[in-house]
């Protein structure tokens, strides 16, 4: 049986980019795969158009795994449909706490939302499935970064361009690193009205079988001064640990 060369290159390209959550440039792809730039460009742009890859524009264009790829491939851990497994848990959790619940993963230096569940009387949130937000001002992003290995975290931090969204937005790497240390200490992260003035969110990391951070879950609601966000954070943390156990991770290894 003759295998199609372009298809094989596409698969190898996806494998390469999946190993580099911080993103890969076209030049790096060509160097590693030893293929002409014109051939690589046609493949990556096709993958971008189909949602298999995300394209981030800056001084250098970088490619990261896209939502479509997560949906059909990265969402599986050891043949387990991760989203199919956690969605019923998150749906019930949203109903239990009466807040909008998200599950998101890292995509370059942003968080992409893979699922969302709302209570019976939901608040309006701008985040929808498939949209992205910066890691530095979201509870999902902070939860993922705080518990990711140092090398991968530093690569992501190096790519962040801080932009003010509200008066509470963290605007420096030093400030974010300080916040991440606090997140790791308490086990959950907070978006203290850093994306939208009227919204407060808490998030906690979800692990896979190997002990790597797979993504994070969060609970969002309208900001209320009287809300017990510490208590909510503990609930989200406990639910994230429950999900990690369902996915095969040992509680004794949490946070390693």
All structural domains of the chain with their residue ranges: 5-70, 80-253
- Which of 9-18, 65-74, 182-191 has the weakest average pLDDT? 65-74
Of 158, 186, 152, the closest CA to residue 173 belongs to 158
Q: Rg (Cα) of the chain, in Å, rounded?
A: 19
The strand pairing partners of 107, in sequence order, are 110
Which are the contacts of 6, defined by CB distance < 8 A and separation ≥ 6?
43
pLDDT tens track for 27-74: 999 999 999 999 999 999 999 999 899 888 877 889 998 888 876 655
Q: How far apart are CA 251 and CA 228, in angstroms?
A: 26
Residue 206's SS3 state is strand
Percent of the chain with pLDDT over 90: 46
Task: State pTM to two decimals.
Answer: 0.70
Q: pLDDT digit string (tens) for 96-139?
A: 999 999 999 988 888 999 899 988 776 666 677 878 888 999 99
pLDDT higher than threshold 80 for residue 207: yes
Fold of 80-253: Beta-Lactamase (3.30.450)
- Residue 38 CA to residue 45 CA, distance in Å, equals 11
According to CATH, the topology of domain 5-70 is Arc Repressor Mutant, subunit A (1.10.10)
Do the Cβ atoms of 211 and 254 come closer than 8 Å?
no
């Amino acid at each position: 049986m003759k295998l199609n060369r372009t298809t094989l290159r596409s698969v190898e390209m996806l494998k390469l980019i999946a190993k580099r959550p911080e993103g890969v440039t076209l030049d790096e792809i060509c160097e590693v795969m030893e293929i002409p730039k014109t051939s690589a460009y046609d493949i990556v742009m096709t993958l971008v158009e189909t949602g298999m890859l995300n394209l981030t524009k800056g001084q250098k264009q970088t490619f990261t795994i896209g939502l479509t790829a997560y949906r059909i491939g990265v969402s599986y851990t050891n043949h387990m449909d991760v989203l199919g497994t956690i969605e019923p848990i998150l749906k019930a959790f949203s109903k239990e706490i009466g807040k909008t619940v998200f599950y998101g993963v890292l995509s370059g230096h942003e968080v992409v939302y893979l699922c969302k569940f709302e209570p019976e009387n939901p608040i309006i949130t701008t985040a929808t499935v498939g949209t992205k937000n910066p890691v530095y001002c979201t509870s999902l992003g902070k939860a993922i970064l705080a518990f990711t290995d140092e090398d991968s975290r530093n690569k992501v931090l190096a790519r962040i361009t801080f932009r003010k969204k509200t008066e509470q937005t963290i605007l420096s790497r030093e400030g974010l690193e300080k916040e991440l240390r606090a997140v790791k200490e308490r086990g959950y992260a907070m978006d203290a009205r850093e994306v939208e003035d009227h919204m407060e969110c808490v998030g906690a990391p979800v692990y896979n079988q190997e002990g790597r951070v797979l993504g994070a879950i969060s609970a969002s609601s309208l900001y209320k001064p009287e809300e017990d966000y510490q208590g909510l954070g503990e609930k989200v943390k406990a639910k994230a640990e429950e999900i990690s156990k369902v996915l095969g991770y040992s509680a004794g290894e949490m946070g390693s």
